[in-house]
Structure 1
Amino acid sequence: MTELIKVVVTGAAGRMGREVVKMVLQDEQMQLAAAVGPSSGPVDAGTLVGLEPCGVLVTPDLETALSNAKADVLVDFTVPHAAYGNTTAAIMHGVRPVIGTTGITPEQIEELDKLCQSRGIGGLIAPNFSIGAILMMKFAAQASKYLPHVEIIEYHGDQKLDAPSGTSVKTAELISEVREELRQGNPQEKETIEGSRGGYYNGFRIHSVRLPGVFAQQEVIFGGFGQTLKIRHDSYDRAGYMPGVSVAVKKVMTYTGLIYGFEHLMD
């Protein structure tokens, strides 16, 4: 029998964290080792997500959880200002991080990679775990070879803390790997309202929409002579990210070093 992968979930009481807890409890190859999140009293993680009690209580202290759980993997869906510290703590305990929180800087990613290498463990930071979103990014990068005039519009709820989204930044990075910098628009254009043309990235623009009632969508628009191409992905439910998280938890056990981007784990 294959040994179960022991998983610590941070942000367990949050909306994404609850989905992760549920996924771990229902996956035959995983075992919930600890659930970390704010709690006003002893709450069973299984009960928290609407399942049978599992015997794991939600705890507010990550260090204690890492020390006691003897875990293999930490899955983090928290907030940008906490994710870097959580990831560092996990690596220092020899626990492989799978991070879905966006906002970690390239410099921090480089530091975390070195730390993973020094500990001989794998790690993953992924702006998006949705298979459809990853395909959207790949298709956009492919299209930019032939239609280099491009803009990105991303839509999220008004409580999202970072802008642009990690998904749009990753999309822009993938496009820039195959598309030379091309400064778009009229060279004489002038913004009469600052920021109206969006954020500038390698010659093209990223626009962030933040509204209540919106979950997560992204549209990549390409323009050419007499034509446009639009590649769009829409997410409607957090459960849609869980197949990707499940794959990441299993694959992070098989390599050393920190990988940035779920697309590197796809066949």
Structure 2
Amino acid sequence: MPDFSVPTPDTAGSDTAGSDTAGSSPLRVAVTGAGGRMGAAAVDAIDGAPDLELVAALGRGDALEEIVRARADVLVDLTVPDSTEEIVHFAVRNGIHAVVGTTGWDESRLAALRDALAGAPGIGVLIAPNFAVGSVLATAFAAKAARFFESVEIIELHHPDKVDAPSGTAARTAALVAEARRAAGTAPSPDATHTGAPGARGADVDGVRVHSVRLRGLVAHQEVLFGSAGETLTIRHDSLDRASFMPGVLLGIRSVPAAPGLTHGLDAFLGLDKA
């Protein structure tokens, strides 16, 4: 079994201050979306971790009440955008922490979740656009570089079975890049395009152009391209196998009980919020 350990920082940040440390007994973990490829990989990783106990693996159509009957401490949700909000709110209502890798969490959904968590003291939820540690680092590096370049665009590349575009990772990267550029007073990327086919310039995500590629043979890949007069910088991350996501999944499971409220992205659990 691969070693999915990731160093855990001394403290973990969240939208809500406070902590609730887990005891010495193994954390009891349930997985929704266990029938999918990502869910199956998570089930295997959790089952192989000596400090975790897999107590429920739910597929499509299984009753959420099974999570409560299994006395899960943490729920890992790897379902689909249409289901994830109901599942996570169910966990919060029942006093179960959640680690969420499903996309579809826009600002209105996040706001509703924060409201729900305000009425559930001690419960933590991690919404992670990407669990690959390298991807989280690449996004952080891109946010650092954003203010130094005149132009920026993002290309995200995934397998053709992915149901959303752009990816959650690309949307979060674009948001962080745009935030860094606004804070620095950087002008919008220059673009003299006057005519063009619909979609030729990609999607406008917070002022950053994002291009989505769907191609058989790919897993999950992203390039952030920066340019200024006479130079370019490309920050690229490639997930070649879903095993790349498992260290982040396990880190999230182990960290979220000590991070009440909403944590968006693995950044804080990796200590990147202090970098």
TM-score over 0.5 for the alignment? yes
2:232 maps to 228
Aligned-pair distance for 1:28? 1.0
1:110 maps to 111
Q: Which deviates further from its counterpart, 190-199 or 245-254?
A: 190-199
SS at match of 1:119: coil
Alignment partners' CA distance in 2, 1:78 and 1:63: 13
Contact 1:141–1:171 under 8 Å retained in 2: yes
Alignment partners' CA distance in 2, 1:148 and 1:36: 47
Q: TM-score, normalised by structure 2?
A: 0.85
Alignment partners' CA distance in 1, 2:162 and 2:154: 17
Aligned-pair distance for 1:101? 0.7
Say if 2:35 is the partner of 1:13.
Answer: yes
1:261 maps to 265
Alignment partners' CA distance in 1, 2:55 and 2:159: 31
Higher relative contact order (CA closer than 8 Å, sequence separation 6+)? 2
Alignment partners' CA distance in 1, 2:191 and 2:109: 36
Contact 1:182–1:204 under 8 Å retained in 2: no
What whole-Å deviation, never above 9, does each CA across 1:150-185 have from its counterpart, x for those lacking one?
A: 000000111111110000011111112211263323
Q: TM-score, normalised by structure 1?
A: 0.88
Contact 1:182–1:203 under 8 Å retained in 2: no
4+ runs deviating over 4 angstroms: none
2:158 maps to 156
Alignment partners' CA distance in 1, 2:206 and 2:262: 25
Alignment partners' CA distance in 2, 1:136 and 1:149: 17
Alignment partners' CA distance in 2, 1:108 and 1:206: 22
What whole-Å deviation, never above 9, does each CA across 1:129-163 have from its counterpart, x for those lacking one?
A: 11100110011111112114100000011111111
Out of 146, 149, 156, the position equivalent to 2:148 is 146
Out of 56, 79, 84, the position equivalent to 1:34 is 56
1:72 maps to 73
What does 1:92-241 correspond to in 2, within 5 Å? 92-120=93-121, 121-180=123-182, 182-187=187-192, 189-241=193-245
Contact 1:149–1:204 under 8 Å retained in 2: no
2:252 maps to 248
Aligned-pair distance for 1:202? 3.2
Residue type matched to 1:253 in 2? P
1:46 maps to none
SS at match of 2:213: strand
Contact 1:156–1:215 under 8 Å retained in 2: yes
Alignment partners' CA distance in 1, 2:195 and 2:249: 41
Name the CA shift for 1:62/1:258 in 2 (closer, same or farther; >3 Å).
farther
Contact 2:218–2:240 under 8 Å retained in 1: no
Alignment partners' CA distance in 1, 2:50 and 2:78: 22
Aligned-pair distance for 1:92? 1.1
For these two proteins, the number of residue pairs brought into alignment is 245
Residue type matched to 1:110 in 2? A
Aligned-pair distance for 1:203? 2.9
Contact 1:182–1:202 under 8 Å retained in 2: no
Contact 1:183–1:202 under 8 Å retained in 2: no
Alignment partners' CA distance in 1, 2:78 and 2:68: 20
